[in-house]
């Protein structure tokens, strides 16, 4: 199904998020004029649950929207990461699942907490094995020129070492405490300070504001260490995964759109919190579209329906 012209529906889970279900036909979701890419998160289930059909849908969508690349924002490998660049999980979680011809694009990955259970350097080094796995470092940035002289800055961050839960568990997450947290935060500050792009988005694995039954300290550490930097430099969106749900939150006192991208394999059920604009327990992925006048993130469920849009204009 081409996701450029589709029925936008919000399923029953929306009621749990304090929203009203709605259905409309909208040809305004046509993406042919934008700079488009796909965001996929929490994928690695060895092809089980919804992973394979969603992978095929991602391929169809990539063709329909002329996607430039794929962002894999963490937990490509459940449950214990990979041991090396030759670990069989590279085939069962990635190569043999995302085999659609239209997914033979650059993939820009991030490390999630499950990668940190294994050999995180092997995840980076896989870039030397697969030409579509384009991970230059644990955190990195890119800038893209749009039409009419406008531009987009994407900043990819490595969130597990920024959270004490992982840093303090050297047995469960052996590589987390080895990372220099202050060095990454200084790099993030300097990168955003130097950014002159029209649009600025930051992508990580862990949420800053969102509903979850996971430890509160995950969010509080991100709120304490990352969010002040994002607000300082007027970042437009912070996009993450980790929670296996779609969520869009507008936190009090912040102008940032906090977005959680759902799992591409197995999802959970969210609830509304203060600032929740939308949430859904469906599996799927997101499509990000940038134009000189707007950026829009489309949350796409496993049926190829857009269930929510996060849009910013200037």
pLDDT in tens, 40-54: 999 989 888 999 999
Peptide bond between residue 79 and the one before it cis (omega within 30 degrees of 0): yes
Q: Give the contacts of 34 (CB within 8 A, at least 6 positions apart).
A: 65, 289, 290, 291, 296
User: Which single residue is written with the structure tokens 């507008």?
Assistant: 250
State how far the Cα of 154 lies from the Cα of 152, in Å rounded to an integer. Answer: 7
pLDDT at 103: 98
pTM for the model? 0.91
The answer to whether position 132 is within a domain reads yes
| Intra-chain end-to-end CA distance of the chain, in Å | 31
Mean pLDDT, the chain, integer: 90
d(CA 258, CA 263): 16
Identify whether 21 is part of a domain: yes
How sure is the predictor about 314, in pLDDT bands with cuts at 50, 70 and 90? confident
**Is residue 31 one of the residues assigned to a domain?**
yes
Give the residue numbers spanning the domain of 89: 6-313
**What's the CATH number where 98 sits?**
3.60.21.10
Q: Looking at per-residue confidence, does 10 or 63 come out higher?
A: 63
Q: What pLDDT score does 31 carry?
A: 67
Q: Phi and psi of 29, rounded to 5°?
A: -85, 10
Angstrom distance (rounded) from CA 37 to CA 107: 10
Q: Calculate what percentage of the chain has a pLDDT beyond 90.
A: 82
| Tens of pLDDT, residues 140-162 | 999 999 988 899 999 999 999 99
Residue 1, in any domain of the structure:
no
pLDDT average, residue stretch 20-42? 63
Of the candidate ranges 60-69, 220-229, 253-262, the one whose mean pLDDT is the lowest: 60-69
* Phi, psi for 216 (deg, rounded to 5): -60, -30
Exposed/middle/buried for 168, CB within 10 Å: 0-12, 13-18, 19+?
exposed
Instruction: Yes or no: say if 306 and 6 are a contact pair by the CB < 8 Å rule.
Output: yes
State how many domains the chain has. 1
- Per-residue pLDDT, 215: 84
Picking from 246, 266, 203, the residue whose alpha carbon sits closest to that of residue 73 is 203
User: What DSSP state is assigned to residue 20?
Assistant: -
Instruction: Decide if pLDDT at 5 tops 50.
Output: no
pLDDT band at residue 171 using 50, 70 and 90 as cut-offs:
very high
- Asked whether residue 44 is domain-assigned, the answer is yes
Mean pLDDT of the region 44-73: 93
């Amino acid at each position: 199904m081409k996701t450029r012209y589709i029925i936008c529906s919000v399923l029953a889970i929306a009621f749990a998020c304090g929203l009203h279900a709605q259905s409309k036909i909208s040809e305004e979701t046509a993406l042919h004029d934008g700079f488009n890419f796909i965001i996929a998160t929490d994928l690695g289930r060895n092809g089980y649950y919804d992973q394979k059909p969603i992978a095929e849908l991602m391929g169809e969508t990539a063709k329909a929207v002329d996607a430039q690349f794929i962002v894999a924002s963490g937990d490509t490998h459940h449950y214990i990461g990979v041991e090396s660049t030759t670990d069989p999980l590279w085939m069962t979680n990635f190569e043999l699942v995302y085999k659609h011809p239209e997914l033979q694009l650059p993939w820009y990955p991030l490390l999630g907490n499950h990668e940190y259970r294994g050999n995180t350097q092997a995840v980076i080094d896989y870039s030397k094995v697969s030409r579509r796995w384009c991970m230059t470092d644990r955190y990195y940035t890119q800038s893209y020129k749009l039409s009419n002289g406008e531009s987009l800055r994407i900043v990819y961050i490595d969130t597990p070492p920024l959270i004490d839960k992982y840093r303090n568990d050297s047995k469960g997450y052996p590589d987390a405490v080895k990372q220099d947290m202050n060095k990454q935060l200084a790099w993030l500050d300097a990168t955003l300070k130097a950014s002159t792009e029209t649009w600025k988005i930051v992508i990580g694995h862990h949420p800053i504001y969102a509903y979850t039954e996971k430890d509160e300290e995950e969010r509080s550490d991100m709120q304490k260490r990352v969010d002040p930097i994002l607000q300082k430099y007027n970042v437009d969106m912070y996009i993450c995964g980790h929670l296996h749900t779609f969520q869009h939150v507008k936190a009090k006192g912040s102008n940032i759109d906090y977005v959680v991208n759902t799992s591409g394999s197995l999802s959970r059920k969210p609830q509304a919190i203060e600032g929740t604009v939308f949430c859904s327990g469906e599996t799927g992925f997101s499509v990000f579209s940038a134009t000189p006048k707007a950026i829009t993130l489309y949350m796409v469920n496993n049926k190829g329906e857009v269930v929510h849009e996060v849009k910013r204009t200037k």
